[in-house]
A and B are shown apart, each in its own frame.
Chain A
Amino acid sequence: MSENKSLLQLSAITKIFSRGTVDEVTALDNVNLLVNAEDYITIIGSNGAGKTTLLNVIAGVFPPERGGKVIINGNDITGLSEYKHAQYVGRVYQDPYIGTAAKMTIEENLAMAVLRGQPRGLKAASNKQRRELFRQALAPLGLGLEDRLNALVGTLSSGQRQAVALVMVTISKPALLLLDEHTANLDPKTAQTVLGLTEMIVQREKMTTVMVTHNMELALRYGNRLIMMHEGRIVVDLNQEQRTGLTINDLVTAFEQASGRRFIEDNILLKR
């Protein structure tokens, strides 16, 4: 695909922490990535591979080193603050507590979320029309939350909160959806539910998605493209055809070849 058709363009992204000290770490090392519209990319890699740093750069938490560029929908947003990136990028965090405001009601949380990227004024934050929209967005979760708009989010379980966070991020249909190990903190059953909801929303809205995970099985099951990172670089990049029929063992082999290391030595934290 040509460059101008890609939704997200990362070029020459390097990120060095604690530069000039003994603690200097190159978290990202000249990463280039083109994400096409409606791509669903899964990124795997061991701890310290640079997955989360990459998401942080895309979300604008910090800028890349000089020379790197982050371009979304043709807009160069390199170096803009996080809240400006948020106009294009929605992110579901690993911790459900980060994605939701506990002391506000479900309705108020969604009323905050629905205005992503729009100017906020002195109109009432919620109204009948918006409440109806919130109910419609919550109903498919099957958790009964559409009837509990006035419940404080702090009274919900972690799984419910993560489901609300997911709806909050997607209700404004951001150009790019970032999933940052968003089921890692949930019990297996709840994780399954939230993953199912994610899949449903991503398919329904045809959202361009980047999911970071430690879990190889998830990385193979979801998405149409698989990226493996190692020491701040993209070492494996498989498209839909290439990854069809792959097993976890194939992935381990691919990782070993690409990184030139025995998988077992590298990091047991690459969960099977």
Chain B
Amino acid sequence: MLSPMIQGILTTSISEGLVYAFVAIGVFLTLRVLAFPDLTVDGSFVVGGSIVAIMIAGGYNPFLATIAAFVGGLACGSTTGLLNTKLRLPALLAGILMMVGLYSVNLLIMGRPNIPLLREITIFDSVAMWFGTVRSTILVAVVFAVVVFIVFMILNWFLRTEIGLALRATGDNEQMVRSLGVDTDKNILLGCAISNGLVALSGALVAQNQQFCDVNMGIGMIVMGLAAVIIGEVLIHPRGVTSMLLAALTGTFLYRLFITIAFRLGLAPGNLKLITALLVIIALAIPFIRKKIRHEWMPPATRW
């Protein structure tokens, strides 16, 4: 039997992991599949939250609101993709500009910095009503698990289709893909759109779960997604579509586990971002340090 404390830690990290799984999958799609370091995430996460909040507060069906949030994310990602492909802005800069711009957009959508959803009917309440119960932690976790599973299966299939393969190849060797008759601009657009759509979906679900949306709730999302993706890769060494997706999910759980334990050990919530940043720095520096010890050559870091 697990002690209640360990049980508590596991439950928290699994449910939190499910909550933020889409952010990790979104970051995985841009960073690893497309090789496009997309920082739009911090903004598009809140876009999802703010669309869902303003619509639910306005009396719309929560499912419709959640779909609208996903579409809002698609639009954000497409814009980042357009900046990169049509105006040739470096990926990082395009993402940063979007992130900054979206902050104001989110304030415009919500009309204020914070919308509470305490008395509104969210999709969790709706699902609970179908089953004739009220919302509970377990129910929320089950809803998240179902949505994560569906998205996982769809992506696992999609990345093996002809279009999906071309998307992956675009991240690997763009020139080759063009010379084989594929419009790589379109692929970058598609990948960024799907990625940010999922991130916005996550924002929409998180807002409904915590029953409010705040304009600042996206800060550090990209780093959290990065941490999850990198931790998953370090531990799983994925090869192939399924294992890469599984690595992103596993990474999210492990990251959450790590954070939950840190909180239990007395970490102040304010230090969370610093810990996360340090985690990513360590994970990214390990390959270089390892090579240094073995006296192997490593190319200088890219500046863009």
Q: Enumerate chain A interface residues (CB-CB to B < 8 A).
A: 59, 81-84, 86-87, 90-91, 97-104, 108-109, 111-113, 115-118, 120-125, 152, 168
Closest Cβ–Cβ distance, residue A212 to chain B (whole Å): 15
Residues of B within 8 A of A168 (CB): 180
B interface, CB within 8 angstroms of A: 158, 160-166, 168-169, 172-173, 175-184, 239
Residues in A with CB closer than 8 Å to B178 are: 82-83, 86
Q: CA A102 – CA B175 in complex, angstroms? A: 13
Q: Give Cα distance in the complex from A223 to B178, angstroms.
A: 27
- Bound together, the chains give a CA A33 to CA B158 distance in angstroms of 44
Q: A100-B173, A102-B173 are in contact. Are A124 and B180 (CB under 8 A)?
A: no
Q: A101-B173, A102-B173, A108-B169 are in contact. Are A120 and B163 (CB under 8 A)?
A: yes
- Bound-state Cα–Cα, A59 to B158, Å: 30
Taking CB atoms, residues of chain A closer than 8 Å to B163 are 120-122
With most chain A CB atoms within 10 A of its CB, the pick from B169, B180, B184 is: B180
Q: Which residue of B lies closest to A152 (CB)?
A: B239
Task: Given A102-B173, A112-B169, check contact A125 B179 (CB 8 Å).
Answer: no
- In the complex the two chains form, is A124's CB within 8 Å of B175's CB? no
**Is there contact, CB below 8 Å, between B183 and A101?**
no
Contact status A103-B172, CB under 8 Å: yes
Cβ-neighbour of A116 out of B168, B169, B181, B184 (below 8 A):
B181
* Residues of chain B contacted by A109 (CB below 8 angstroms): 169
Report the minimum CB–CB distance from A197 to chain B (whole Å): 19
The answer, among B158, B168, B175, B179, for a CB contact under 8 Å with A104, is: B168
| Nearest Cβ on chain B to A22's Cβ, whole angstroms | 25
B179 and A86 contacting across the interface, CB-CB below 8 Å:
yes
CB–CB B181/A86 < 8 A? yes
Interchain CB contact under 8 A, B165 and A83? no
Smallest CB-CB separation from A90: which chain B residue? B179
Q: Is the CB of A120 within 8 A of B182?
A: yes
- Report whether A121 and B176 are in contact in the complex, using a CB–CB cutoff of 8 Å: no
Which of A113, A118, A125 has the most chain B CB within a 10 Å cutoff? A125
Quote the shortest CB–CB distance from A7 to chain B (angstroms).
18
The answer to whether B183 and A111 touch across the interface, beta carbons within 8 angstroms, is no
Q: Report how far A91 CA is from B162 CA in the complex, Å.
A: 21
Q: Are A113 and B161 in contact (CB under 8 A)?
A: no
CB of B161 within 8 A of CB of A123, answer yes
Interface contact A102-B180, CB-CB below 8 Å: no
Pull 9 A–B residue pairs with CB atoms less than 8 Å apart, ordered by A.
A100-B173, A100-B176, A115-B181, A120-B166, A121-B163, A122-B158, A122-B161, A125-B161, A152-B239
Is B181 in contact with A87, judged by CB distance below 8 angstroms?
yes
Chain A positions within 8 Å of B183 at CB level: 81, 83
From the candidates A83, A98, A103, A125, name the one contacting B162 in the complex (CB within 8 A): A125
Distance in angstroms between the alpha carbons of A59 and B168 in the assembled complex:
23
Q: Nearest-CB distance from B32 to chain A (Å)?
A: 10
Nearest opposing residue in chain B for A102, CB measure:
B172
Beyond the given A84-B181, A122-B162, please list 17 additional residue pairs across the A-B interface where CB-CB is below 8 A. Answer: A59-B179, A82-B178, A83-B178, A83-B183, A86-B181, A101-B177, A102-B172, A102-B173, A104-B168, A109-B169, A111-B162, A112-B180, A116-B181, A117-B181, A120-B163, A122-B163, A125-B162
